[in-house]
Amino acid sequence: MSVFKSIFPYNQQVIAEYPLMDDHAINTILTDSAKAFTHWSLQSYAHRAGILNNVAAILRKEKEQLATIITNEMGKVLAEAKGEVEKCAVTCEYYAQNAEAFLADEIMEAGYYKSFVAYQPIGAVLAIMPWNFPFWQVFRFAAPTLMAGNTALLKHAPNVTGCSLAIERVFKEAGAPKGVFQSLIIDVPEIEKIISADIVQAATLTGSERAGASMAILAGKHIKKSVLELGGSDALIVLADADIEKAATVAIQSRMQNAGQSCIASKRFIVEQKIQEEFVNQLQLQIQKLKQGDPFNTNITTGPMARIDLAQQLEKQMQNSIKSGATLQLGGEVDGANFNPSLLLNVKKGMATFDEEAFGPVASVITAADEQDAINIANQSNYGLGGSIWTKDVEKGIALARKVNSGAVFINSLVKSDPRLPFGGIKRSGYGRELGRHGILEFVNIKSIAADQ
């Protein structure tokens, strides 16, 4: 029987093995999801909110235990894992409090005696989720999906199967009825069987371009709604009038948190030429404060990458960029999945770390002649997930933000996902939105109802 293995990335120790589900188990899950939808979709918002608030309480009560599972399976430092669990709790509470208002009937004047738009659940939503934020990625789909009255099916990344089962347990202990939230321990070939099932009416995927394209093909084939949150190569634009020390501090925080394994991490530092030397000096000071190693060691700031093959891919991108003319200023050492935080200078379009998503702790500095050149460079990417602009003139920053081709731009702030704001990308970063009111509207039937006397 095939199994998924959980492996501690720091030393490659096997933690656990999980057998894959057979057809009978898969069919049972689909049947349970269909049965659950018939009553869950009719429950009041208050009832569903009670379950979500219970989930939040359990997450906080078991924060240490759940964070340990995260760190064991994908290697992020324990403090970051605890923060991830807390963010999930906050998001559950946010949708528990706001979903009813988000989905209230909307009166539309259209010349009828009465006309309005109703927002209704559609069925089960399949989520194909990645390993880099193994709790947060799930909850930002699950909280709005369940509050809307849908049921949820999770196909998680193989290396975080323990996280997947832990999340399922939390929902059960919170009082979620059988079939409302279920984990699928399946491999890629079984995904089409899930998407094609009648109960499944939508699918959402966070992951690579290749995975997103494959899922979109399946969703289109079976005429199911889909949302894709894919890669990013976010630009951090530093203008000449920026607070350079603050910009550099946040740049390294953004680039190196989660060992650089974040879709919305700032990956391309685009800096006006006149301040580049000062900015690079500040970057080096910040990187030198980092300590890479065992993620359970409280003195460590940066854990390993999640898998050895991911570290090898990043090293290849870095070396290819160096061969193309980039300069390795700091770091570059790789040992298994342990990748030292690294800094590349003189990066240009055509290099791997500019054109591709560099998913790990490598920062690339790109020179811009002026602010318009910086915007042009930012928009040369095939991705469009997030980005930030650093300037003391906030109104100028906002005006420039409108010119950046991405799903979000933050001025003088770390780019992050927030349950109150819609999140998603354009171009090869995907389509659709998660979070905020826009996120909960992705997986409901937006139904027009009109009546005359």
88 Cβ contact list (under 8 Å, min separation 6): 56, 59, 135, 136, 138, 139
The one-character DSSP state at 75 is: -
Report how far apart, in Å, the C-alpha atoms of 29 and of each of 95, 189, 224, 423 are.
25, 17, 19, 30
Q: Please give the structure tokens belonging to residue 346.
A: 């003189």
Q: Could you report how far apart the first and last alpha carbons of the chain are, in Å?
A: 64
Apex 218 CA angle, 35 and 437, nearest 5? 65
CA distances from 128 to 38, 169, 194, 450 (A): 23, 18, 11, 37
Supply 181's token pair. Answer: 């939230």
- Starting at the edge strand found earlier in the chain, the sheet holding 362-368 runs 327-330, 342-345, 362-368, 266-272, 234-238, 387-390, 410-411
Q: How many CB atoms lie within 10 A of CB 107?
A: 10
Torsion angle in degrees (nearest 10) through CA of 98, 102, 103, 104: 100
For the four alpha carbons of 432, 434, 438 and 441, in that order, the dihedral sign comes to: positive
Give strand pairing partners of 368: 272
What is the rounded distance in angstroms from the CA atom of residue 108 to the CA atom of residue 435? Answer: 25
* Burial bucket for residue 115 (CB in 10 Å: 0-12, 13-18, 19+): middle
| Burial zone of 151 (CB within 10 Å; 0-12 exposed, 13-18 middle, 19+ buried) | buried
Q: Is 32 helix (H, G, I), strand (E, B) or coil?
A: helix
Q: What is the pTM of this model?
A: 0.97
Enclosing H/E stretch for 410: strand 410-411
Per-block mean pLDDT, blocks of 10 residues, the chain (453 long): 92 97 98 98 98 98 98 98 98 98 98 98 98 98 98 98 98 98 97 98 96 97 98 97 98 97 97 98 97 96 97 98 98 96 98 97 98 98 97 98 98 96 98 98 98 96
CB-CB contact of 91 with 421 (8 Å): no
What pLDDT sits at residue 61? 98
The answer to whether 95 and 139 have CB atoms below 8 angstroms apart is no
- Nearest Cα to 148, choosing from 175, 122, 176? 122
Residues designated as active site? 229, 263
Superfamily of 3-230+429-451 according to CATH:
Aldehyde Dehydrogenase; Chain A, domain 1 (3.40.605.10)
Domain positions in the chain: 3-230+429-451, 234-420
CATH class of residue range 234-420: alpha beta
In order of 132, 143, 266, 281, 424, the CA distances from 150 in angstroms are 25, 10, 34, 51, 21
CA neighbours closer than 13 Å in the CB half-sphere of residue 307: 13
Residues whose CB falls within 8 Å of the CB of residue 8, separated by 6 or more in sequence, listed in order? 15, 72, 73, 75
Radius of gyration of the chain (CA): 23
Contact 354, 347 (CB under 8 A): yes
Strand partners, 70: none
Nearest to 439, CA basis, from 141, 229, 201? 141
Placement of tokens 């109703």 in the chain: 118
Which residue, 244, 311, 323, 322, is CA-closest to 284? 244
Q: Do the two domains 3-230+429-451 and 234-420 of this chain adopt the same fold?
A: no
Q: What is the pLDDT of residue 1?
A: 55
